[in-house]
Amino acid sequence: MLAVLAPGQGAQKPGFLTPWLDIAGVDARLRWWSTLSGVDLRYLGADADAEEIKDTAKTQPLLVAAALLTAEQLRMDDVAVVAGHSVGELGAAALAGALTTDAAVTLAGVRGREMAAACAVEPTGMAAVLGGDEAEVLAAIEAAGLYPANRNGAGQIVAAGTADGLEKLAAAPPAKAKIIKLQVAGAFHTPHMAPAEAALAATAAGISPAHPTKILLSNLDGAAVDHGPTVLNRLVRQVTAPVRWDLCMRSLADLGVTAVVELAPAGTLAGLVKRAIKGIEIVTVNTPDDLGKARDAIARHGSHPTHEPHPEFRVVVASTGGTFAPASGIAEGDEVGDGQVIGAINTRQGPVDVIAHGAGALVEWLVHDDDPVSPGQPLARIGGTT
């Protein structure tokens, strides 16, 4: 099984889109998406310097556009799993079929502008905490009045909040931990971004999302999300919620992913995956010269859909890991309603409802009572039209 990953803010490099401009259609695509996002993506990706592409309002739509342009050169039909880090999750949602590419770029433009505006309200920032005991690090972050904005795995937690709080953390770091101040505009993925979340929600209300056709892992908790409106709600909430990339990587491992392809500008997520999941094949795509390696990995590790006629079903998947329990009184052949709870996944934190997103007949259970399940694992088939 293969996963495609879309990087987040901080992955950009000056001129990284230049080699892609020679591909037919890329220039026109960037010009159209520039209109939708409100920034000149062609200029930013090819000619702008490092300082200019650090601007949150410009970087966010640039990264989403870059991931989508890269993916258009690959056979995404054979990709089973997609995930993105922070703003990269908008690109991942489009690759999963939950959003159109135009909607993803438009939302990225709004998100970037509004988060940049929220950063100007008061002095805030972020700092990476490397090493140390995880519980002690989280306690120190809380004691400083900060938030754990990113939990990236491999002993890396990013603290975010006020400038005073960051100074307090730096003055009294957790044992065996190193504090590195990040060159960012503000405290992303914290309550400080509440105005940006509200603005993004207003724009998102005009979008009609579709149900993902691939396993889409959410930054909120690493869960596989198979319901379009839920995907959109989580994308909006992500502006103030922590990025749990550590849990996304755990889900990649639980799903049995054997290879990942990181889209341009690649490298950051590949490094995190390499440290977290041993034995996995990793391909980074930064220029068109890397497309051959990516296509080869997809051919060897990807799924291969059949063109034979087959029934069409709505597959309900597990949103998290645990043990499955079907709802009492529901059997194969029964009609279920849209939004009906058909079971639960029992986790250490308590049961998580399994919901049928779409009405139809419960054609088949794909797991049994008390079976262990992983995020993204198919649980039941709903429907049955041919």
Q: pLDDT (tens digit, 9 = 90+) per residue, 236-273?
A: 999 999 999 999 999 999 888 999 999 999 999 999 99
Same domain, yes or no: 149 and 9:
no
Same domain, yes or no: 88 and 237:
yes
Same domain, yes or no: 90 and 153:
no
If one compares 383 and 166, the residue with the highest pLDDT of the two is: 166
Q: Label each residue of 275-288 as H, E or C.
A: HHCCCCEEEECCCH
Q: pLDDT (tens digit, 9 = 90+) per residue, 305-328?
A: 433 444 445 778 888 889 999 999
CA-CA-CA-CA torsion for 78, 84, 88, 90, nearest 10 degrees?
70
Distance of CA 367 to the CA centre of its chain: 27
Question: How far are the Cα atoms of 10, 11, 47, 286, 362 from residue 16, in angstroms, in the given order?
Answer: 13, 10, 9, 7, 49
Give pLDDT, residue 386: 35
Same domain, yes or no: 286 and 227:
yes
CATH of the domain at 177: 3.30.70.250
Domain boundary pick from 246, 272, 301: 301
CB burial of 125-147 (b: ≥16 within 10 Å; e: otherwise) equals bbbbbbbbeeeebbebbeebebb
Give pLDDT, residue 226: 86
| Domain assignment present for 209 | yes
- pTM listed for this prediction: 0.84
Give pLDDT, residue 133: 94
Give pLDDT, residue 310: 40
Same domain, yes or no: 354 and 368:
yes
Domain containing residue 135? 120-181
Same domain, yes or no: 171 and 234:
no
| Domain assignment present for 12 | yes
Give pLDDT, residue 316: 84
Give pLDDT, residue 309: 42
Give pLDDT, residue 307: 37
| Domain assignment present for 306 | no
Q: What are phi and psi of 362, to 5 degrees?
A: -75, 95
CA–CA gap between residue 226 and residue 216 (Å, rounded): 7
Token pair listed for 360: 């139809």
Give pLDDT, residue 315: 75
If one compares 319 and 296, the residue with the highest pLDDT of the two is: 296
Question: How far are the Cα atoms of 56, 94, 353, 376 from residue 87, in angstroms, in the given order?
Answer: 10, 12, 28, 22
Same domain, yes or no: 285 and 268:
yes
Which amino acid, residue 23?
A: I
| Domain assignment present for 307 | no
Same domain, yes or no: 100 and 196:
yes
Based on the residue annotation, tell me whether 189 is a catalytic residue of this protein: yes
| Domain assignment present for 20 | yes
Q: What is the largest CA-CA distance in the chain?
A: 65
- Which of 34, 37, 85, 86 is an active site residue? 86
Please identify which residue in the block is written with the tokens 């890329």.
26
Domain boundary pick from 258, 282, 301: 301
Same domain, yes or no: 28 and 172:
no
Per-residue pLDDT band at 154 (split at 50, 70, 90):
confident
Question: How far are the Cα atoms of 29, 108, 114, 128, 186 from residue 118, in angstroms, in the given order?
Answer: 29, 15, 6, 21, 8
> What number is the average pLDDT over the span 121-141?
95
Nearest alpha carbon to residue 316 among 347, 369, 359:
359
If one compares 296 and 310, the residue with the highest pLDDT of the two is: 296
CA–CA gap between residue 248 and residue 321 (Å, rounded): 12
Q: How many CB atoms lie within 10 A of CB 341?
A: 13
Based on the residue annotation, tell me whether 86 is a catalytic residue of this protein: yes
Domain boundary pick from 250, 276, 301: 301
> What number is the average pLDDT over the span 76-81?
93
Same domain, yes or no: 136 and 68:
no
CA–CA gap between residue 20 and residue 31 (Å, rounded): 14
CA dihedral over 47, 50, 56, 60, signed as positive or negative: positive
CATH of the domain at 47: 3.40.366.10
| Domain assignment present for 186 | no
CATH of the domain at 341: 2.40.50.100
- Which of 85, 189, 211, 227 is an active site residue? 189
Give pLDDT, residue 313: 58
If one compares 93 and 226, the residue with the highest pLDDT of the two is: 93
Q: pLDDT (tens digit, 9 = 90+) per residue, 175-230?
A: 999 999 998 889 999 999 999 999 999 999 999 999 999 999 999 989 888 889 99
Tally of domains within the chain: 3
Give pLDDT, residue 376: 75
CA atoms within 13 A on the CB side of 340: 17
Terminal Cα-to-Cα distance of the chain (whole angstroms) = 27
Same domain, yes or no: 18 and 150:
no
Same domain, yes or no: 247 and 107:
yes
Q: What SS3 class is residue 291? A: helix
